[in-house]
Chains A and B, each alone.
Chain A
Amino acid sequence: MKLSIDNVCKTYRGGKTALQNFSLHAGPGILGLLGPNGAGKSTLMRILATITLPSSGTVAWSGVDIARSPDGLRAVLGYLPQDFGVYGNLNAVEFLEYLAAAKGIDGRAARRRIAELLDVVNLADAAHRPLRTFSGGMKQRIGIAQALLNDPQLLIADEPTAGLDPEERLRFRNLLSELAGDRIVILSTHIVSDVETCASTIALIARGKLLAHDSPAALLRPVEGHVWEWVVAAEDLPAVRQRFPTGSVAHRGDGVHVRLLAERSPGAGAWPAAPTLEDAYLSWIAAGRGERS
């Protein structure tokens, strides 16, 4: 079970390039795909999910090119798109039964699986309500359930926690960790906290290019000793932002607390801080833009 992405490019009609020479190899575990909005994450997800073809390059699932033979992957694929619709007149069970049939799951097994999944995503009590009455978060959980229907070997989730409340978010992350043992889970997001606790490796992507692909610990290494917290006057904040890549900013009684990246102490009163994945992400993205300090 291996997913190989080699030199994948995707250019849309009109000339917009979404992916440039993107290469990545993934095995069992959770791969967090992290990048800002418009980085090319959803395009990559759609290519991996066999929805769209790359303009060039290859994606292979266990050695088989998915552009030539997509159905081998589709049989073991679970896909949660960023934006998806549901048939509003159907209830949750009917909708999942339909998708189970499309995915080739035996009828009896599908019914058992659907009951189990609705319980897992906390929708058992709403199982027979029309989907049009579901809130955004409930609809998202139906999306999660359908992605898990066929017990996928490759689970692709594009911004899966959008619309989920904190408890459901945590529950979903735990479910992913549980599932990731012997399958590949690709979790695409721009929210660092979604991946920092559960991802075994993280791929950073910006402007269609892969910036880095490593374990969270390895990604933190380059920023160790370069993260600072500094209290500055509110009027100095624009100048600080111009000089350094900045993270969180908090207005407090003693001034503005700024978390920033710098090779050396940015000024008097600044103190070093323990780096987090968010700092590493900021550093890589800034480097991608050519702003890294």
Chain B
Amino acid sequence: MTRGGVLYHLARADFLQRVRSYGFLVTLGFTAYFCYLCLPPQHAGYVTMRMGGHRGLYDSAYIGTLVSMQVTLILSLAGFYVVKNAVERDLRTGVGQILATTPLTGTLYTVGKAISNFAVLAAMVATIAAAAAAMQLARHEDTAIHVWQLAAPFLFIVLPVMAAVAGIAVLFEVIPPLRGGGGNAVYFFVWIFATALLAGMLELPKSLQGADLVAASLVIPSVLSACDATFAGCGSARDFSLGFTFGPEHFDLTTFQWTGIHWNLGILLTRLPWFALGAGFALLAGALFHRFDPARERRGHAPAPEIDAPEEQKTAASTKAVHATLSRLADSERRFQFAALIRGELRIALHGVNRGWYLLALVLAAGSLAAPVVVARYCLAAAWICPLLIWSGLGTREASEGTHQLVFSTPHPLRRQLPACLLAGLAVAVLTGSGAAVRLLIAGDMGGLAAWCTGALFIPTLALALGVWSGSSKLFEVVYLVLWYIGPANQFAALDFTGASGSSARTTATFLAVTAALGAFALAGRQRPIRQ
């Protein structure tokens, strides 16, 4: 078979495996809903792009471009997490071991996976494009659908970036330290850094326009110019916003017509580097790919070389009669000890955590206790991001490690094991955030302490609920990272579950209520596999 044929079948099988799932249908539902959110009606409480008090008329060109820019931004983050499981699936299912024994080269494998990733992302983009057409009709500002004007931005703005995302997802997967939650966190911060540069993109020289993630340097001057032609002075408006912007009041924006981008070869060439980047990532992944060799997996993440019974033990066993007896367990010895179960859960959660982590947690706890207030609040924020990968295992470990049948057949798994798991997560939050708690106690800040306690309970409960329902640690890692970045890291009081930015009693009460709801959600989720 030709290389093309091999790539086709590899990508096709992987693509079909992924899209033939309820999860993918739900993902498509969310992407279509996202498209709906991108196009707020008049008088909505938020806007997605405006120039002062104006925006473009919702016609094919404007909708296609506006939705494409938003989708590029969001899918460059969320899309990565959606597709970053192609290699992991082969590793988990054992298919990788079979593929490793075939003549398939590492490069063909990673390129095939990147193509499959791209196909999945393209399917999501196609869904959004179809939803955009439906939204144009629903918004009813211009009902004439011009397919090219609507579709071209998806083809030339979104898809090139998706190619890069598809490639980098494979690259992260073949580098063992980046394959798990650590890689998810790294990508998040890389993405934050990359999008932070977006603001400066308008000033980019033409030669660097290809690096412009959402083609802002191409679109925005053109849109501003069209706005200026209708409303004088709009083109120089400083009051420009792109992205979801919420206002205290409803937005009543006046509209102007924009004819869209006139796509030409020169413009298309500026988008090509994204495809090249994706291909480069996939090829680099091929060079780093170790063909599922367990010996090259990270310690603790791979089946280490198996040992058998030592020789002396075998000899002893051989000489020992093949009869085995077992003593009885007295009724008095059947006594449930909750502390022992919590200890067990804590031991499982913390096993494999290295000394450097404990040292860092200690330093951050000390910092949040003794450092000046401005530094201390960041210390607490940092202290409560360090255990990300410990918390993300809550509620998922039984499925990911295959111990669910053992654990769920023990007495009262809902009353015992689930709370023990939660309390182990709480213990981690309490220990890592203890410096801040002591500080609040010394200062007599009971409101702050209540907020801290709520935060300490909120984090593991969120982890448990998302883990139990999704069966994967990834959802919590992404949701928590976003929440943490907006709340504690950027001191957005309404989402600061640490209470460090002076959260109000109302915020604390809200988080407490959310925590209670998440707890109930976790309980209901755990009931499913036990009582199917």
Contacts and interface: CB of A to CB of B under 8 A. Distances in A.
Interface string A111-124: 00100110011111
21 contacts: A50-B409, A51-B409, A84-B405, A89-B351, A90-B347, A101-B340, A101-B341, A101-B343, A102-B341, A105-B334, A106-B334, A107-B337, A113-B333, A125-B310, A126-B313, A134-B306, A135-B306, A150-B329, A171-B324, A178-B325, A178-B326
A151 B329 CA distance: 6
Interface string A45-79: 01001111100000000000000000100110101
B329 A113 contact: yes
B403 interface: yes
A281 B114 CA distance: 51
A252 to B, nearest CB: 32
Interface string B331-367: 0111111001101110110011000000000000000
Contacts of A133: 304-307
Contacts of B417: 102
A151 B333 CA distance: 11
Nearest to B307: A133
A85 B403 contact: yes
B101 interface: no
Nearest to A151: B329
Nearest to B313: A125
Contacts of B313: 122, 124-126
A271 interface: no
Given A90-B348, A102-B341, A178 B405 contact: no
Contacts of B401: 85-88
Given A104-B411, A105-B333, A120-B324, A87 B341 contact: no
Interface in A10-60: 46, 49-53
Contact of A98 (B335, B348, B409, B530): B348
A107 B341 CA distance: 10
Contacts of A77: 409
Interface in B36-95: none
Interface stretch (B178-186, B207-215, B315-323, B513-521): B315-323
A274 interface: no
B348 A87 contact: yes
A133 B472 CA distance: 25
A109 B337 CA distance: 12
Given A98-B344, A102-B407, A102-B416, A135 B308 contact: yes
A83 interface: yes
B98 interface: no
Interface of B: 300, 302-310, 312-313, 317-318, 322-330, 332-337, 340-341, 343-345, 347-348, 351-352, 397, 401-403, 405-413, 416-417, 530-532
Interface of A is mostly: helix
A148 interface: yes
A143 to B, nearest CB: 8
Contacts of A132: 300, 302-304
Given A85-B403, A90-B347, A175 B326 contact: yes
Interface of A: 46, 49-53, 71, 74-75, 77, 79, 81, 83-90, 94, 97-110, 113, 116-117, 120-126, 129-130, 132-138, 143, 146, 148, 150-151, 167, 170-172, 174-175, 178-179
A79 B405 contact: yes
Nearest to A135: B306
A46 B94 CA distance: 24
Contacts of A135: 306-308
B341 to A, nearest CB: 4
Contacts, number: 178
A134 B327 CA distance: 26
B337 A101 contact: yes
| Max chain A Cβ within 10 angstroms of own Cβ: one of B318, B340, B348, B352 | B340
A127 to B, nearest CB: 11
Given A84-B403, A130-B304, A133-B304, A151 B409 contact: no
A59 B335 CA distance: 27
- Leading 5 A-B pairs by shortest Cβ distance: A85-B402, A98-B344, A109-B333, A151-B329, A104-B336
Contacts of A103: 410-411
A105 B167 CA distance: 51
A153 to B, nearest CB: 11
A150 B416 CA distance: 16
A223 B318 CA distance: 38
A60 B433 CA distance: 48
B327 A116 contact: yes
A53 B531 CA distance: 6
B335 A104 contact: yes
A108 B318 CA distance: 31
B324 A174 contact: yes
Nearest to B335: A106
A66 B39 CA distance: 53
Contacts of A94: 344, 347, 351
Contacts of B323: 171, 174-175, 178
B530 A51 contact: yes
Contact of B324 (A98, A143, A175): A175
Nearest to B320: A122
A84 B306 contact: no
A110 B303 CA distance: 28
Contact of B326 (A97, A104, A116): A116
B309 A51 contact: no
B330 A109 contact: yes
B402 A170 contact: no
Nearest to A72: B411
A61 B343 CA distance: 32
A89 B408 contact: no
Given A101-B337, A102-B417, A175-B326, A88 B300 contact: yes
Given A74-B411, A81-B405, A174-B322, 9 more contacts: A74-B409, A84-B406, A86-B402, A87-B401, A94-B347, A102-B407, A104-B336, A133-B307, A167-B317
Contact of A170 (B303, B305, B322): B322
Nearest to B326: A120
Contact of A146 (B324, B352, B406): B406
A81 B407 CA distance: 11
A96 B409 CA distance: 15
Contacts of A148: 326
B322 A89 contact: no
Contacts of A129: 307
Nearest to B417: A102
A167 B318 contact: yes
A103 B401 CA distance: 19
A49 B410 CA distance: 9
A232 B413 CA distance: 59
Contacts of A102: 341, 344, 407, 410, 413, 416-417
Contacts of A175: 323-326
| Max chain A Cβ within 10 angstroms of own Cβ: one of B326, B412, B416 | B326
B411 A75 contact: yes
Contacts of A174: 322-324
A273 B247 CA distance: 90
A82 B60 CA distance: 57
A155 B276 CA distance: 60
B510 to A, nearest CB: 34
Given A97-B344, A101-B344, A106 B333 contact: yes
Contacts of B317: 122, 167
Contact of A52 (B305, B328, B532): B532
A105 B329 CA distance: 9
